[in-house]
A and B are shown apart, each in its own frame.
Chain A
Amino acid sequence: MTPAVGVSRRIRASAERLFDAWLDPAALTQWMRRPGDDAPVVVADARVGGGFSITMHGPTGHVVHVGEYVEIDRPRALSFTWRSEHTVGVDSIVHVTFTPDDDATVVAVRHELLPDEASAGKHRAGWSEILDRYVDEYGEEAA
């Protein structure tokens, strides 16, 4: 698969409430920022094919993240493309899933880099394994 990172967190709130926080600009200005930063400027056209931009104001300057909604399946799944200077001009895609778990919801984020068209869906093997072995082999140097 392509280089990807996955993180998840179990949060004591409903899937609907958490899902909506990803699409509502007013909510995004509250949580889509680093601790201590000024509120970001958020524009979001929350429909499949619609675009968004999040301008974060950090200590080292402004970082603009832009993307387009690919999938909006309330309250289960959300996918959007993601591009910023941190993705080095390479397209990436973020998949977010919301899985109810008792009185909470597990929010899982999977962020995949798409270095080229070919890697988008066809080649689903290799990368993680290579990096895992690389980390095993070279350990601390990787960080």
Chain B
Amino acid sequence: MGEYKLDTVLSAVADPTRRAILDRLLVSDARVTEIASAFPISLNSTSKHIKVLERAELVRRDVRGRDHVLSLRAEGLGDAVAWMQRYREFWEERLAALEAFVLEAEPEADIDADAGSDASTDGIAR
């Protein structure tokens, strides 16, 4: 994944108005004017938000006659999902290792051999 691109995606979705626009586009494609009328901000301000989303490649704009129609480019969000998955695995592994460490380093008296203390991810409470 392009890391600069992920950075751009994450910055783009840090804004609540832009998230709301993405939310709206998850439902269906929409004209720019429809989006603008759905939010209590100016058309000009809406356009700026849409440009940020286009630069992050989260939204595509198609010109159909006089209408500018926006649609979601959901594959852009896939990078963010992949980032989250990577860190989920990272911390799951760390907590498994933490368990193995504390149980091996100084077993407490009431703890018998705990089958779940290996470093596999099988025993992880989610």
Return the chain B residue nearest A85 by Cβ: B3
A12 touches B15 (CB 8 A): no
Using Cβ atoms and an 8 Å threshold, which residues of chain B touch A48?
none
Give A12 to B95 CA distance when docked, in angstroms.
12
- For residue B39, CB closer than 8 A to chain A, the reply is no
A106 touches B23 (CB 8 A): no
Interface size of B as a range: 35 or more
- For residue A62, CB closer than 8 A to chain B, the reply is no
What is the CB-to-nearest-CB distance from A39 to chain B, in angstroms, rounded to a whole number?
12
Using Cβ atoms and an 8 Å threshold, which residues of chain B touch A143?
81-82, 85
User: What's the dominant secondary structure at chain A's contact region?
Assistant: mixed
What is the CB-to-nearest-CB distance from A62 to chain B, in angstroms, rounded to a whole number?
16
A88 touches B7 (CB 8 A): yes
B10 touches A113 (CB 8 A): yes
A18 touches B84 (CB 8 A): no
Give A70 to B25 CA distance when docked, in angstroms.
37
Can you list the 4 inter-chain pairs with the closest CB atoms, starting with the nearest? A126-B19, A31-B101, A115-B10, A9-B95
**A-side interface residues toward B, CB under 8 Å?**
2-5, 7-14, 17-18, 21, 27, 30-35, 85-86, 88-90, 103, 106-107, 109, 111, 113, 115-116, 118-119, 123, 125-127, 129-131, 133-135, 137-138, 141-143
